[in-house]
A and B are shown apart, each in its own frame.
Chain A
């Protein structure tokens, strides 16, 4: 019963969000603000995490290849496929759900409890479209770029590591990267990320928009929204993997 209620209200909010903006000029101004807030400001964390995961993947793969019959280029292949298929989309999405999701929810929630949303509505402006649409559009446009960045940096992290630790040669690592290249993997990752981005922006926005009470409730809603969007990301990951691969 409760679930249906939230579903209904969520889709009604989306319906109000995807209206023609009152003024395109204002929309683009907000969009650039969100591209910076949600996108540019997330680059750092994506860089750091991707680099280290790439490094760890290389070490662990090398460590597990005791059998001398296994070719060393497997390290490069392993790092590449893991980064392309899962890490750059699903894991990066989970990180962004924590970072961008909680900031979206607390920003909108604070505007709700301090009556700023009422102030927007009272002027005759559609507050859902004004506040939420630029965030959703910014996330869907920018998060896939973060995926691409994550792929490169992860593979680079692996490469640095094998050289420093002398796990294999640079040439073999690169041979692994070139081994039976599936460009489709990149497309698959980017499609997934676009869907995750929609979830990561819209679900916390929903939680923030309907906050009731004070700053304590905003905090709780923000936590809840991160949990829900993470679970939804994992669910969509399963569904999209079934559909696309």
Chain B
């Protein structure tokens, strides 16, 4: 479980996150939704400690992460897996070396054992026979899967995904979403996903946090999101004329 308490973040004198408090639950896919530029990525980077926060607390299973000394922060980081928006695979390494990187760094496994773990993770994300390819040689969807494989290589307790299906076609998006959800439940991980994709919201939104302009505007599940009564949220989910029409038809004005 990850808890955020009264978190604020400034860039210069610009407020990018404004007093955010919420809880992300274990074994669930927690979604952070909002328009482009609303502060989703900044929130995620604050939670994992890539950005410093000016105010507030971030708790990883009751431990106040952002006030820990560096060494102890590092111990928590070893339990974090993260999926970046552009996959962030290491260009200079093959797929196999990419997934092996965390194992090289933090385990004393033999090469054969590492290979076995790599193959297990790649198989888990339904990739086979790509070990020797470089990131430039595989498709966007495959890159995301390799990135997931790398993120789960060390059996993380926490998984962060920044727009996991940006730049993917709708079908591949669904596959990636489902994969993240399965892995989350299988290993009882606390997963936080940034997205502005309504497809993901409908299919894997177990807990949803909506931010707009750096403020937390609404929290709930995919069941009650359509009838939130929140003006900003409605504008966000029913942005296109088509979805607005569907809403008007089925729910009335």
Contacts and interface: CB of A to CB of B under 8 A. Distances in A.
B2 interface: no
A118 B74 contact: no
B88 A118 contact: yes
Contacts of A23: 104-105
Interface in A94-138: 110-111, 114-116, 118-119, 121-125
Nearest to A21: B105
B121 to A, nearest CB: 14
A22 interface: yes
A244 interface: no
A115 B84 contact: yes
A115 B85 contact: yes
B45 to A, nearest CB: 8
A110 B105 CA distance: 22
A26 interface: yes
A26 B77 contact: no
B105 A122 contact: no
Contacts of A26: 104-105
B140 interface: no
Interface string B43-58: 0010010100000000
A121 B160 CA distance: 14
Contacts of B77: 122-124
B91 A110 contact: yes
Given A121-B50, A122-B48, A123-B77, A115 B86 contact: yes
Contacts of A25: 104
Given A123-B78, A124-B74, A22 B105 contact: yes
Contacts of A111: 90-91
Interface residues of A, number: 16
A22 B78 CA distance: 13
B122 interface: no
B80 interface: yes
Interface string A13-35: 00000000011011000000000
Contacts of B50: 118, 121-122
B183 interface: no
B192 interface: no
A23 B106 CA distance: 8
Contacts of A110: 91
A111 B89 CA distance: 9
A114 B86 contact: yes
Interface in B53-91: 74-75, 77-78, 80, 82, 84-86, 88-91
Nearest to A125: B105
A116 B104 contact: no
A123 B91 contact: no
Contacts of B89: 116
A219 to B, nearest CB: 17
Given A116-B90, A118-B50, A124 B78 contact: yes
A123 B150 CA distance: 10
A23 B163 CA distance: 32
Nearest to B71: A124
Contacts of B90: 111, 116, 119
Interface string B30-53: 000000000000000100101000
B79 to A, nearest CB: 9
A122 B80 contact: yes
Given A110-B91, A124-B78, A119 B104 contact: no
A23 B100 CA distance: 14
13 contacts: A23-B105, A26-B105, A111-B90, A114-B86, A115-B84, A115-B85, A115-B86, A116-B91, A118-B50, A121-B50, A122-B48, A122-B82, A123-B154
Given A22-B106, A119-B90, A124-B77, 8 more contacts: A111-B90, A111-B91, A115-B84, A116-B90, A119-B82, A123-B105, A124-B75, A124-B80
Interface of A: 22-23, 25-26, 110-111, 114-116, 118-119, 121-125
The 5 closest A-B pairs by CB, nearest first: A124-B77, A115-B88, A119-B88, A124-B74, A115-B84
